[in-house]
Amino acid sequence: MTGAGFCFAYNKPVFMRVLTVEQMRQVDRLTSTEYGVSGSVLMENAGAAVAELILREFPRQLRTPVLVLAGKGNNGGDGMVAARHLAAAGDTVKLWLTALPVTEDAKAAWTRLRQETPHVEVVFLFDSGAWPRSLSEMRQAGLIVDAILGAGLTQPAQGLEAELIEAMQQSRVPVVAVDLPSGLPGNAQFSSSARPARTPAIVSAQWTVTFTAPKLGHLLGPFADQVGRVRVVNIGTPAVALERPEFKFSVIRRRQTQPYLKPRAPAAHKGKFGHVLLLAGSLGKTGAAALAGKAALKIGSGLVTVATPKSCLPLVAGHSPELMTEPMPETSEGSLAGRWLESGAHAQEWLDRLFYGKTLLALGPGLSQQPETSAAIRHLLSVSPLPWILDADGLNAFSGHVEMLAAMAATIARKRGRLGAILTPHPGEMARLLGTTPAAVENDRLRLALNLAARLHAIVILKGHRTLVAAPDGRVSINISGNPGMAKGGSGDVLTGLLAGLWAQYPDADPFHLAGAAVRLHGVAADFAMHQNTDMTLLASDSIAALPAALRQEMEPEPDLPWEIQ
């Protein structure tokens, strides 16, 4: 079943690299020129991997013919190899070609198919009359293998390819895509000059089998949900070929969380695990402060002090007796007051006591957007000697004040000698910071997150489906844990608490890696919480309760390749 050189063996890097189309081509060139693995071997292994998945995952569909649609490039060559393996395994296979193969490797795959499995029925769709006659056959297939268009697509599919994609969608036959579903841009978006005026033709696959590393299009962009489940298989590329400094995008893996989950020494005490100062809450929003505080404790912070408007203090303290609290001056609306900060030396003395002994400051959940409160937030951050996490209304306080925020992040970085600021916006908060719309943020998440991280010299966690963790040096981690049940009030507050609790325990860690670990753990906990819930019933507090199960899983060794992304 496996072709020459077919191999799933892989070294165990901390990251699963995510590549652009151009980077993938560079890796393929290096694999051939520097490591001696030919393109024909890579193609053989790729097609065999597709066939292996089909044989395992679709035994019922194999009782009826498998239809392989192949284009003229290497993607089509992969499909022809898969067709040959399936036919050799005894399955009925029909191959539709949209053009004769044009690359040398695809030509070789075509020749071998005709020699070794001549019983495979071939239809040439570049005969203009063939396509209408073949439509009914597509609907009768048990499974479709989509190998028409590859990852290098820069503009929407047109002509025959677009017609075939639309027909596949209408047939309702399960589809396994080779590398990427046809019509999906490998870099997550079409080029700016080719953005379609209407929804482009893109295959919706049940499974996508991709090779060596996922591409941006598998994870990001408006059409990423059409990839189905993604299997990432190694087809002979050495792991070292992926460990290049210019490859800065990765998926957050279990190995990234494990350094923060080490067993504690028998003589450990609370003073060794940090003290979080959480400035949060206002009248009507005490739950945000309580969720963040409890999450920080649950992830292991030794101490957590919640500084909250004094009338809110009993409500916050009532949520969790382990939380310490600090009453803050308040406005008539029950939010953090700012005028007391103008009292000079007395106010500074009070703030010095507030900051004393704390490891970091987490600021924002539930603080409200009262103008006086926003001014107080800006002042407190400007005088804080602590590294800080800015979330929710803490971020909103800097709408229209991004350069001020950049100066504060630069100041704390100078004091620490390394990055000292993490921002956790959702698309609405990001839009307010940048003076744009949430829709504009969603349409350009990767670029905007990177730009803001560089502009502020801070880590930016852009929350949402496939949460991004961006660093000023261009690194980006993409999260694949979590589920739609997290789309509910309080989820962001829990993340702030988890992030603060981890950072308090590991104040010298690289904030980029640590932020990625917190984001992944949050999603894994929510996935465990789904065992007793549905998308509708999941609450943010359920994720906190499920954290022990999530941590136990994350402490286990990570499975080897093939990886799967759901």
Give all domains of the chain, ordered by start, each with its CATH number: 16-243 (3.40.50.10260), 271-466+483-507 (3.40.1190.20)
pLDDT at 104 (0 to 100)? 96
Q: Is the pTM of this model over 0.85?
A: yes
Ramachandran region, residue 476 (left: φ > 0; alpha: ψ -120 to 50; beta: rest): beta
Q: How far apart are CA 500 and CA 505, in angstroms?
A: 9
pLDDT at 12 (0 to 100)? 43
**Dihedral (CA of 470, 475, 478, 479) sign:** negative
DSSP code, position 118: T
CB 494 within 8 A of CB 522: yes
Residue 453 structure tokens: 């991280």
Closest Cα to residue 121, out of 77, 78, 91?
A: 91
Low-confidence ranges of the chain (pLDDT < 70): 1-15, 127-134, 191-197, 342-345, 560-563, 566
Quote the Cα angle for 388-391-392, to 5°: 155
Cα of 517 vs its chain's centroid, Å: 12
Residue 412 structure tokens: 């704390």
Closest Cα to residue 492, out of 548, 430, 433?
A: 430
pLDDT at 129 (0 to 100)? 61
CB 89 within 8 A of CB 55: yes
Q: How far apart are CA 320 and CA 297, in angstroms?
A: 10
What is the SS3 assignment for 229?
A: strand
CB 440 within 8 A of CB 410: no
pLDDT at 195 (0 to 100)? 56
Measured between its terminal Cα atoms, the distance across the chain in Å is 26
Q: How far apart are CA 480 and CA 61, in angstroms?
A: 29
Closest Cα to residue 121, out of 139, 104, 99, 137?
A: 137
CB 20 within 8 A of CB 154: no
pLDDT at 131 (0 to 100)? 63
Residue in the structure block whose two tokens are 């709408």: 399
**For the purposes of burial, counting CB atoms within 10 Å of the CB of 325, is it exposed (0-12), middle (13-18) or buried (19 or more)?**
buried
pLDDT at 190 (0 to 100)? 76
Closest Cα to residue 203, out of 234, 241, 173?
A: 173
Strand partners, 176: 145, 207
pLDDT at 250 (0 to 100)? 95
| 193: Cβ contacts below 8 Å, ≥ 6 apart | none
CB 360 within 8 A of CB 388: yes
What is the SS3 assignment for 179?
A: coil
For residue 371, the surrounding DSSP H or E stretch is helix 371-383
pLDDT at 74 (0 to 100)? 96
| 547: Cβ contacts below 8 Å, ≥ 6 apart | 295, 298, 299, 521, 525
pLDDT at 191 (0 to 100)? 60
Q: How far apart are CA 156 and CA 8, in angstroms?
A: 33
- Give the helix ranges, DSSP H, for 73-158: 74-88, 104-116, 130-140
Q: How far apart are CA 1 and CA 84, in angstroms?
A: 10
- Strand order of the β-sheet with 563-565 is 121-124, 93-97, 66-70, 143-147, 175-178, 207-211, 229-233, 563-565
Amino acid identity of residue 6, one-letter, is: F
Residue 178 structure tokens: 């080779």
Closest Cα to residue 361, out of 398, 320, 307, 311?
A: 307
- CA dihedral (531, 534, 539, 540) in degrees, to 10, reads 60
Cα of 179 vs its chain's centroid, Å: 19
